[in-house]
């Protein structure tokens, strides 16, 4: 059965999934890179970006699990890039170069229409202006019975959580405090929405939490 999953999503101890002031040179906001120090050394990440071996262990196990059985992705406009408002042109194609790491259809939520972009490696960015439910329907159709990964950012995950549409969340709690930025759970009652914590696994760089619907 298809699931809508959040995988490998990092938050600070105080619950922020991104720092403030996202810019072209600081895509995760101020101090936001500190959230992902558990992920960067893993073999999964190193093989993806350089083809060189990285670290094995708990962090890598979670990183790999998050890449399995994904047939389509959904992300917000802010995760796709720093451009706000209407698209000035078609030059911006994401942060990831000509071969993004998704290798599947990616549905980008936006208020401003844009033609789809086909990239190397099987990634195609489709821009959805009709809202979160339309993006999920299209992702379900494109995924060919595999799961849909909800990549982020924070605002996008919050929208799907508020509708109880997320089946499972894997959060990596990094041992840093951001103090401000984009808070993942502010105003969200996970218990009322039917979620519970089903797993907690520490590593030397993060605490991995699995939250799922309470069936």
Name the E strands within the chain: 4-11, 16-18, 70-76, 105-109, 117-118, 124-128, 147-152, 168-173, 182-183, 195-202, 207-213
Query: pLDDT tens digits, residue range 184-211?
Result: 999 999 999 999 999 999 999 999 999 9
| 108 domain residue, yes or no | yes
pLDDT at 149: 98
pLDDT at 83: 85
Residue in the block written with tokens 């840093």: 176
Q: Report the domain count for the chain.
A: 1
| 11 domain residue, yes or no | yes
| 67 domain residue, yes or no | yes
Domain that holds residue 176: 4-17+31-82+99-213
Distance between CA atoms of residues 180 and 138, nearest Å: 34
| 87 domain residue, yes or no | no
pLDDT at 173: 98
Residue 83 Cα to chain centre, angstroms:
18
Distance between CA atoms of residues 105 and 38, nearest Å: 27
| 188 domain residue, yes or no | yes
HSE, CB side, 13 Å, CA atoms: give it for residue 197: 7
DSSP secondary structure string for all residues of 44-59: HHHHHHTS---B-SHH
| 174 domain residue, yes or no | yes
pLDDT at 192: 96
DSSP secondary structure string for all residues of 128-141: E-S-HHHHHHHHHH
| 175 domain residue, yes or no | yes
Interstrand relation of 117-118 and 124-128 (parallel, antiparallel or unpaired): antiparallel
| 24 domain residue, yes or no | no
What CATH number did the domain enclosing 155 receive? 3.40.430.10
Q: Which two tokens stand for residue 153?
A: 């950012």
- Spans in the chain with pLDDT lower than 50: none
């Amino acid at each position: 059965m298809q699931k809508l999953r959040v995988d490998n999503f990092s938050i600070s101890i105080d619950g922020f999934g991104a720092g403030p002031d996202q810019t072209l040179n600081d895509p995760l906001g101020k101090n936001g890179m500190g959230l992902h120090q558990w992920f960067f050394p893993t073999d999964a990440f190193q093989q993806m970006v350089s083809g060189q071996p990285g670290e094995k262990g708990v962090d890598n196990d979670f990183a790999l699990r998050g890449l399995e059985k994904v047939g389509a992705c959904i992300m917000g406009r802010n995760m796709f890039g720093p451009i706000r408002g209407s698209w000035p042109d078609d030059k911006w194609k994401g942060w990831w170069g000509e071969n993004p790491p998704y290798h599947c259809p990616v549905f980008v939520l936006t208020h401003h229409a844009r033609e789809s972009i086909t990239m190397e490696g099987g990634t195609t960015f489709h821009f959805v202006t009709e809202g979160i439910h339309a993006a999920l329907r299209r992702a379900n159709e494109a995924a060919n019975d595999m799961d849909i990964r909800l990549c982020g950012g924070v605002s996008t995950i919050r929208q799907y959580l508020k509708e109880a549409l997320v089946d499972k969340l894997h959060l990596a709690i990094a041992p840093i405090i951001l103090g401000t930025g984009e808070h993942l759970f502010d105003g969200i009652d996970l218990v009322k929405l039917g979620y519970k914590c089903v797993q907690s696994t520490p590593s030397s760089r993060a605490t991995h939490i699995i939250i799922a619907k309470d069936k």
